[in-house]
Amino acid sequence: MFSRSLALLGLAAASGATLTSSLLDTADSVLTEFRSAVLNDTGIRYVKNSGVCETTPGVEQISGYIDVGTNMSMWFWFFESRNEPETAPFTLWLNGGPGCSSMIGLFQEHGPCLVNADANSTYLNPYSWNNVSNMIYIDQPIGTGFSYGTDTANSTVAAAGPVWTAFQVLFESGLFSKYASREFVYGTESYGGHYGPAFTTYFDQQNAKIASAHLPVVTGVPITVAALLINNGWIDPLIQNEAYLTFAQNAPGYGQLLSNETLKNISAALYDEGGCVDQEKACYAAGNLNASADTVCLNADNYCGNYVFSPAVGNYDPYDLRQNSTAAFPPEYYVTYLQNPAIQKKIGAQVKYEECPDAPYYEMDNTGDDAKTLLPQLGALANSGLRILIWAGDTDIICNWVGGHEAILAMDWYGNETLHNTPLTNMTLDDEPIAQIQNVDNFTFARLFGAGHEVAAFQPKAALAIFTQVIAKEPLHSV
């Protein structure tokens, strides 16, 4: 599914690690290499200030590869904050899929530039999130986007380790060590409803091991996620599959989407004996620990996809109900741009760009990962007091806001009852309603008006305002 979507100097010096520079085949760019002295077969190969995308004077950018293991090269693109980079947070953005490139977020949503219709030039994005934060976009799992090599991620949990390793290497290097002490913000979307809770939980577990010296590498750098933002996330498949019917019956603000006959068929596929709900419950009961459980979950995912999701979408664009299946927004100009050999040389890319290749998707899909719930992990994070924003554009079908809202209402955490008793209230920007919101302590839910699956593509000004409030540790409020 596309983006469910079917859619650092102190440690380097201490360790004796070195930086070596060489002029390689990257047009006018200098490709610099750092090899880790702590983790075997890891390092960074990068280009600084390629002149591509971010052209704001004085704002640094770095693009290239983090080698996270033997034949495992993970693409990254970093942009310094346009304002107060010395103190601004450090934000990671990961798109979903599974297996969809984070260049989607960079070039279609909230990166420093957007690509013109000629697919050969860019213009600055005034609503880029690097207005207020240092931003890093990473293509993962391996094989996604510009990443290349051996993909070992056959589940959400398995995908967390290489991303953790990537930041260990980044923070070991003199290039990124200064960001290790910054507030670490994690933004994601769609299948990020799986990635977000799982990766944050994994980071917390690794931090605990470092603190107790149980890691083989006791010099590991703790990575404490200060805020988690999940946009149109695929969190709990049981609840969100049921919401395909609820949303099609009456999409708030847009009415009934499908015929009564189609709705009846979807209802039967959900609730008849052996249907989607029964199969999802069987998947949840099977757990995540063996191949037979994977088969149960894969069967559930295939059934629900064929007989619930597909008919619920019908002839609509699954990412924006206002468009049909041949939707043109957001445009794909950036793909052609990134496949231009001249651009690839400038930024240091070594392979042809693929937005959502099949291989990493099926590596996860074949284990039934899509049908498994991450709601318990999200609930535990909310219970810990982590700042969390669950937000969704209200014209998205595939990860619609109704299903996302029902999922968080079912979440087991100390604020459950309060959240149920907190009404959705309007948030305005320049006196115009942009969202309905619920704030409970550090947890917020927001429904964004007139936005599809990629919220910041449809409502860039509103998305930046909300992102700015979250990283400023403010409950969402009108401005």
Structural domain span for residue 91: 1-7+71-161+182-198+208-473
How far is the first Cα of the chain from the last one, in angstroms, to the nearest whole number?
Answer: 35
> Could you tell me if residue 268 is inside a domain?
yes
Cα separation, 221 vs 10, whole angstroms: 12
Torsion of CA 341, 347, 353, 356, to 10 degrees: -160
The CATH number covering residue 130 comes to 3.40.50.1820
pLDDT tens figures, 359-408? 999 999 999 999 999 999 999 999 999 999 999 999 999 999 999 999 99
Q: In the prediction, which pLDDT does 289 show?
A: 60
- Read off the DSSP letter of residue 371: G
Q: In the prediction, which pLDDT does 15 show?
A: 32
Q: Which residues of 113-132 are buried (b: 16+ CB within 10 A; e: fewer)?
A: bbbeeebeebeebebbbbbb
Amino acid, single-letter form, for residue 431: D
> Could you tell me if residue 65 is inside a domain?
no
> Could you tell me if residue 175 is inside a domain?
no
Give the total number of structural domains in the chain. Answer: 1
> Could you tell me if residue 311 is inside a domain?
yes
Contact between 323 and 396 under an 8 Å Cβ cutoff? The reply is no
Among candidate residues 5, 63, 73, 190, the one labeled active-site is 190
Q: Is 396 annotated as catalytic?
A: yes
Does residue 364 sit in helix, strand or coil? helix
Which residues are within 8 A (CB) of 149 and not within 5 positions of it... i.e. 6 or more apart? 71, 72, 73, 142, 143
Query: 């693409």: which residue's tokens?
Result: 75
> Could you tell me if residue 346 is inside a domain?
yes
Q: In the prediction, which pLDDT does 36 show?
A: 80
Cα separation, 463 vs 130, whole angstroms: 13
Sites in the chain below the pLDDT cut of 50: 1-28, 218
Dihedral over Cα of 319, 132, 182, 68: its sign: positive
Q: Is 453 annotated as catalytic?
A: yes
> Could you tell me if residue 27 is inside a domain?
no
pLDDT tens figures, 49-100? 999 999 999 999 999 999 999 999 999 999 999 999 999 999 999 999 999 9
> Could you tell me if residue 47 is inside a domain?
no
> Could you tell me if residue 382 is inside a domain?
yes
